[in-house]
């Protein structure tokens, strides 16, 4: 009899939003198509964190694209992990790159990129992009689809 895969701890259960990214737990599940190169995309259009200087909220649209290897990120754990930044004070660059690095450490994907499209702070939008690995040949990576900030123009 085949051994049943271990279920991620948050699946099918009530789980409170972690107080910080350090307390959050990202879970992974086996990739049933690890022999195929394909892109999985997660979009978080309402990501929030706190400015470490003023304590004011910062808002962003995050787009995470990755080519899985043996593992997929479990989506509920990713949602809770991203939500844990709500009361976390960090600069836009730190949040974006940390999320990318945490996912790479968990999944060891063939390729991953993250775009953090932050809304203006002090009248200036800040966009942060981070990527690791090489996109496999023949794998299509669509544009992230987030329009550049244009204000009222």
In this predicted model, what pLDDT tens digit does every residue of 85-131 receive, in sequence order? 999 999 999 999 999 999 999 999 999 999 999 999 888 899 999 99
Query: pLDDT band for position 1 (50/70/90)?
Result: very low
CB proximity list for 140: less than 8 A, separation 6 or greater: 39
pLDDT(153) > 80: no
Asked whether residue 32 is domain-assigned, the answer is yes
Structure confidence at residue 4 (pLDDT): 42
Kindly state whether residue 38 falls inside one of the protein's structural domains. yes
By annotation, the residues acting in catalysis are 51, 58
pLDDT exceeds 80 at position 70: yes
Residue at token pair 């009530």: 14
* 105: helix, strand or coil: helix
Residue 116 within a domain: yes
| Residue-level length of the chain | 153
Q: Residue 111 sits in which domain range? A: 28-133
CATH number (domain holding residue 126): 3.30.1130.10
pLDDT given at position 152: 55
Structural domains of the chain, count = 1
Decide if 16 is inside a domain.
Answer: no
Q: Is residue 41 part of a domain?
A: yes
37-53 pLDDT per residue, tens: 999 999 999 999 999 99
User: Are 16 and 79 in contact, with CB atoms under 8 Å apart?
Assistant: no
**Contact criterion met (CB below 8 Å) for 114 and 107:** no
């Amino acid at each position: 009899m085949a051994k049943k895969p271990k279920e991620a701890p948050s699946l099918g259960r009530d789980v409170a939003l972690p107080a910080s990214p350090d307390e959050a737990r990202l879970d992974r599940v086996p990739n049933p198509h690890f022999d195929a190169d394909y892109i999985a995309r997660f979009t978080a259009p309402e990501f929030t964190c706190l400015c470490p200087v003023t304590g004011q909220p910062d808002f962003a649209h995050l787009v995470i694209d990755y080519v899985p290897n043996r593992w997929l990120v479990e989506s509920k754990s990713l949602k809770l992990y991203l939500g844990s930044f709500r009361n976390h004070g960090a600069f836009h660059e730190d949040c974006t790159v940390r999320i990318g690095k945490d996912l790479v450490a968990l999944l060891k994907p063939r390729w991953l990129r993250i775009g953090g499209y932050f809304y203006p702070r002090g009248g200036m939008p800040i966009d942060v992009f981070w990527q690791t690995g090489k996109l496999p040949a023949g794998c299509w990576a669509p544009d992230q689809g987030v329009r550049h900030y244009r204000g009222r123009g």
